[in-house]
Amino acid sequence: MKVGVLALQGAFARHVRVLADLGATAVEVRTAGDLADVDALVLPGGESTTMSMLLDSSGLRGPVADRIADGLPVLGTCAGMILLATRVADGRSDQRSFGAIDLDVRRNGYGRQVDSFEADLDVTGLDEPFHGVFIRAPVVERVGDGVEVLAAVDGQPVLCRQGRVVVAAFHPEMSGDDRIHGRFLDLAFAA
């Protein structure tokens, strides 16, 4: 199991640690060559407009889009959710997303840094609540027909899946709980 973590900006180091602790070979992805060797990919939290620009300047946007279109399993957290959504509100006019999951999201929809919060989430398939850490989190404004909502806060989807794409509005790598990453690995490497 070789899992890449996009390492252009954002919270990539914690994802690498969690994946390694679960037994995956976790590698930082900074080039198309790095990406070519992975069997799954994590798009971490960070600043989505900056990440979008760095995907362009690094030459990674096309290769990432191609791998996702070819069925590469991908987990997007916070900014990663924004990058994978179909439509993004409150982004820069030149910000582009991959359209890998049929969601409309609003950047920083829960508010600014001071509005960050934590919540215990009832996640489909988990026996115990998962502690979600929300930092300038995106809000899901529309869920497409083929998208499964796996967790919500006050009726608002915060963890979703469509095929081999999983997105979270929160930061599971900051919870001290590896179950979201574990479920992603199960999905990515199911026989």
**pLDDT tens digit string along 71-126?**
999 999 999 999 999 998 876 666 788 999 999 998 766 656 656 789 999 999 99
Residue 49 pLDDT grade (very low, low, confident, very high; cuts 50, 70, 90): confident
Per-residue confidence (pLDDT) for residue 163, from 0 to 100 = 95
CA distance 40 to 53: 22
Q: Which amino acid is at 51?
A: M
Query: Exactly one of 15, 78, 160, 181 is catalytic; which is it?
Result: 78
In words, the CATH class of domain 2-188 is: alpha beta
Query: Exactly one of 15, 160, 171, 181 is catalytic; which is it?
Result: 171
The alpha carbon dihedral of 3, 21, 176, 147 has a sign of: positive
Q: Is residue 65 within 8 Å of residue 96, measured between CB atoms?
A: no
Per-residue confidence (pLDDT) for residue 64, from 0 to 100 = 98
Per-residue confidence (pLDDT) for residue 114, from 0 to 100 = 55
- Worst-scoring range by mean pLDDT, 9-23, 68-82, 98-112, 174-188? 98-112
Q: Which amino acid is at 34?
A: D
Q: Is residue 137 within 8 Å of residue 78, measured between CB atoms?
A: yes
CA distance 184 to 138: 20
Give the start-to-end residue ranges of the domains of the chain: 2-188
78 is catalytic: yes
Question: Tokens at residue 51, please?
Answer: 């990440």
pTM beyond 0.85: the answer is: yes
108 or 179, greater pLDDT: 179
Query: Exactly one of 131, 141, 160, 173 is catalytic; which is it?
Result: 173
E strands within the chain? 2-6, 25-29, 40-43, 74-77, 85-89, 101-106, 117-121, 130-134, 139-143, 148-153, 156-162, 165-168
160 is catalytic: no
